[in-house]
Amino acid sequence: MAKKKSVLAQRVNELEDAVTRMFTGEPPAAAPKAKRKKKAKKAKVAKKAKAAVKKVAKKAKKAAKKVAKKAKRKAKKARR
């Protein structure tokens, strides 16, 4: 099994190759295209979950406020 070169070693080889091509007059070799990094799905899922939790918390808070308001009104009415 071939050992994978480090990024630094790859870059050194590319630069050496480029320098030799400069002096020999060869056209530059097509550089390998860098692979696009995939976004982590975990982060997306976590973000969605966080948003859902926030939504539920907001609804609960609103409901609690409503209940408190009703209780306040009842207490006020009872005092009259």
Domain ranges of the chain: 7-79
Give the whole-angstrom CA distance, residue 8 versus residue 28.
20
Grade residue 28 by pLDDT with cuts at 50, 70 and 90: low
Q: 3-class SS at 41?
A: helix
Answering whether pTM is above 0.75, one says: no
The separation between CA 52 and the C-alpha centre of its own chain, rounded to angstroms, equals: 17
Of 70 and 39, more confident: 70
Look-up: residue for tokens 């009872």? 78
Residue 5: partners with Cβ closer than 8 Å, 6 or more residues away = 13
**Could you give phi then psi for residue 3, rounded to 5 degrees?**
-80, 135
3-state secondary structure of 59: helix
